[in-house]
Amino acid sequence: MDDITYFGIDISEYYSQICYFKDTMDEPVSISAHAGTKKYLIPTVVAKRTNSSLWYIGDDALDLADPVKNILSKAFRKESVNVDGEMLDCIDLLTMFIRKVLALVTETPCDREKDHFIFCIDHATQMQTDTILLICDNLKINRDNVKVISRQEAFCYYAMSREPILRTHDVMLMDYWKNTFRVYELVKDNKTMPMVVSVKELLYPMLNHLSDNNNMTIDEFKDHKDSVFLKALDEVLADRIISSVYLVGDGFDGDWMKRSLARICAGRRVFSGMNLYTKGACYYGQMINRKFKNEPEYIYLGAGNMLYNICLKVMNKGELVYKVLVPAGYNYQDAFGMMDVIVRPSDDQSITFYAKPLRGDNVQEFTFTLNGLVADPELTTRLRIKGRAVSPERIIIDVATTGFGEIARTKHQSWQFEMFLKGKEEENV
């Protein structure tokens, strides 16, 4: 068994969290920002003591004058801020913040070359992913073991790691941070093998008024929130069979759910907490590390994930079959593969790849010519084919001759091709 630790780091504009997980553990362990407490939320804030070289993060930073907030979005925008008379890059401040967050994990040593680090952010765009990877380079973390996923994807992996009875029917996530309320549904397609799972955001405009205060007293405001949420639940829960609901966020604090809590708990399991995303990130890391060892129970379909299996047609025991080179369902960062094939002599030395969608039957074909290749009649011409995704739509294919070592040497030749997958919009033009 691999002695690998998976670190799940959830970073938002307001709060961050961290937990760690090993294959020998039953579930990930959340790390408190203050030893001896269960305070897992770390304000995403940094501050420097005036006329000092000492930096602080989280609640300790908020206790100082002029703390730097919004460092996540400022780092993504590559902004600088003035701290104690000095202009500093926010990427450097976010780097320091992440380093201090990782230092909170004292229970297990952190191997920055071997361990896996899964960062969870609200929307894992290419620009945001590149920024996180740059920060990990600065921290001497092996970027091959760094993944950046969205909170929706972390929710999927967390929900699918729970007992099957909790996801027999619909699974919902209600995310309420500060004044932003979002509702997500886990969607399962049991008609595919393996199962295809996705997360859909459900829009309920009335929840936008949940935090409207209008100069109410504390008790009036609690009753207002309870009433708005209760009314929204009548629409959210209508005509649905829901097995479980997860409530995540500091917005659920304050003991304001009275009638609405009774409504949401009627006939279903309800869980409340703050660390769903960090734990989901750890489960994601574990599954990706095992992806070539076992057939996955399910694959996640979401933004940034491969929607097609990249295949070759090969002869296997006298039968022509599709063999997957680059698997669908994984984030494009993790979509890669390799296979060896033996080439038969032919006048047309070309190779054809097939992009088979997870849903539907619109297979795309890509044929490339292996210029200069001469296949040996004795079937000793072997090709090593590697495929890797550099975006959900762009695949790089590397082909090289390998021969059979001392048994049958061959002239080294290599080719590289690019595949550009058509999206649904292009196909329907």
pLDDT in tens, 275-332: 999 999 999 998 887 755 556 778 888 777 888 889 998 877 778 888 999 988 777 8
What CATH architecture does domain 308-427 belong to?
Answer: Sandwich (2.60)
Checking 68-76 for CB contacts under 8 A at 24+ apart, the result is: 68/93, 69/44, 69/45, 70/13, 71/44, 71/45, 71/46, 71/97, 72/11, 72/12, 72/13, 72/44, 72/121, 73/13, 75/131, 75/135, 76/127, 76/128, 76/131
pTM of the predicted model over 0.85: no
Same fold, 5-148 and 154-277: yes
* CATH value of 154-277 in 3.30.420, 1.10.530, 3.40.50, 1.20.144: 3.30.420
Tens of pLDDT along the chain (429 residues)? 468 999 999 999 999 999 999 989 999 999 998 877 888 999 999 999 888 889 999 999 999 988 999 999 999 999 999 998 889 999 999 999 999 999 999 888 888 999 999 999 998 888 899 999 999 999 999 998 999 999 999 999 999 999 999 999 999 999 999 888 999 999 988 777 778 888 999 988 888 888 888 888 989 999 999 999 999 998 888 888 999 999 999 999 888 999 999 999 998 999 998 999 999 999 999 888 775 555 677 888 877 788 888 999 887 777 888 899 998 877 787 788 999 988 877 656 889 999 998 777 789 999 999 888 877 766 667 889 999 998 888 999 999 988 665 555 567 889 999 999 986 434 333
* CB of 309 closer than 8 Å to CB of 355: yes
* CB of 39 closer than 8 Å to CB of 149: no
Class of domain 5-148: alpha beta
Domain locations in the chain? 5-148, 154-277, 308-427
HSE-CB of 281 using CA atoms within 13 angstroms: 32
How far is the C-alpha of 93 from the C-alpha of 55, rounded, in Å?
10
How far is the C-alpha of 153 from the C-alpha of 284, rounded, in Å?
8
* CB of 125 closer than 8 Å to CB of 333: no
SS3 string, 169-191, reads: CEEEEEEEECCEEEEEEEEEECC
How far is the C-alpha of 83 from the C-alpha of 74, rounded, in Å?
14
